[in-house]
A and B are shown apart, each in its own frame.
Chain A
Amino acid sequence: SLIRQVSSLLRRLPAIESEKFQDDFLMEYNDTLLIAYLAM
């Protein structure tokens, strides 16, 4: 049962994989870099 739990855990990786996530993630990334740039 342990092995089965571990394999189901691994099957849940990657946690999320979608176009929208990439867009949102990069957007957030750029926003934060922009704030750092403005502060500089």
Chain B
Amino acid sequence: EEQVLIIREKVAELYESEGEWSKAAQMLSGIDLDSSMRLVDDKFKLSKCVQIARLYLEDDDSVNAEAFINKASFLVSNSRHEVLNLQYKVCYARILDLKRKFLEAALRYYDISQIEKRQIGDETIDEEALEQALSAAVTCTILAAAGPQRSRVLATLYKDERCLKLKVYPILQKVYLERILRKPEIDAFAEELKPHQKAFLPDNFTVLDRAMIEHNLLSSSKLYKNISFDELGTLLGIAPQKAEKIASRMIYEDRMRGSIDQVEAVIHFEDDTEEMQLWDQQIFGLCQSLNDILESMGNKGL
């Protein structure tokens, strides 16, 4: 088995140098890590599993990669090897991302972006890599299904001043402040996405389309008390029937408060803010704008 192991590693190395990632992974996955013939220590097992997963991920093959990451997850909990642990974390985040579990992927990317050490083993952690992880966290959060959990992660990212430097910051700000996103902004953001994030869903919409439509729908519910599906369809850039379908699903999943009058084809948004609190919010806005007027009069010397 020793000889087989050495040959496999050599061949896999050759495949890697030729960029044949999956072949290299298959070659390594032929190594029997659980053989009773020889003692294999956990660190070796962990490093092989992570290496195979990383190779599969080079070809965006999340299925095979996940199989090896799951094996690694039993070993990583008591592993003290920071380099391997970090590689495991990155693989796991990328697999979640590929499987479109965007919120969990975002949390792991964010966790990776907060690494304080700049030198782990012989790996140097450069700012650029951390910034990439942070940017991936923002992208995944934006693609995640709108709702309270996503809002919490958005708030964390928005308050992290490192995000100010990211290219995706403008869209993060609009999404966090629940403002409606216009087509040009969405297209610009689409350019940054990885292929799997632009994949079409069964209902012939991309992941991004769905995320953006749901976001704009949620933003509209903050702006309007009610709106007809014709207008809503125009606002969202989709057919009225589609708008009604998405709105009804969001209401059903309790990610938006409202009711739909199908006869009139109108959606009534509900805001469970207490009337008295709403009143205080209106007063707050009034005082702020009065303050702004006084300040601009002061600046004009009036």
Contacts and interface: CB of A to CB of B under 8 A. Distances in A.
Q: Do the two chains touch directly in the complex (Cβ atoms below 8 Å apart)?
A: yes
A36 to B, nearest CB: 19
A24 B290 CA distance: 27
A2 B297 contact: yes
**Interface size grouping (class) on chain B:** 10 to 19
Given A2-B297, A2-B300, A9-B286, A15 B292 contact: no
Nearest to A27: B276
Nearest to B302: A2
A12 B297 contact: no
Interface in A1-40: 1-2, 5-6, 8-9, 12-13, 15-16, 18, 20-21, 24-25, 28
B276 A9 contact: no
Contacts of B285: 12
Contacts of A15: 279, 282-283, 286
A9 B293 contact: yes
Contacts of A2: 293, 296-297, 300, 302
B166 interface: no
A30 to B, nearest CB: 14
Contact of B289 (A8, A16, A18, A20): A8
A37 to B, nearest CB: 22
B277 to A, nearest CB: 10
Nearest to A20: B275
Nearest to B278: A16
B282 A16 contact: yes
B279 A16 contact: yes
Contacts of A21: 275-276, 278-279
A16 B274 CA distance: 12
Given A2-B300, A9-B286, A15-B286, A25 B293 contact: no
A9 B289 contact: yes
A18 B225 CA distance: 13
A12 B287 CA distance: 11
A5 B286 contact: no
A9 B290 CA distance: 7
A16 to B, nearest CB: 5
B44 to A, nearest CB: 68
10 contacts: A2-B297, A2-B300, A5-B289, A8-B289, A12-B282, A12-B285, A13-B286, A16-B278, A21-B279, A25-B276
Interface of A: 1-2, 5-6, 8-9, 12-13, 15-16, 18, 20-21, 24-25, 28
Top 8 A-B residue pairs of the complex, sorted by shortest distance between their CB atoms? A15-B282, A16-B279, A21-B275, A24-B275, A20-B275, A5-B293, A9-B289, A15-B283
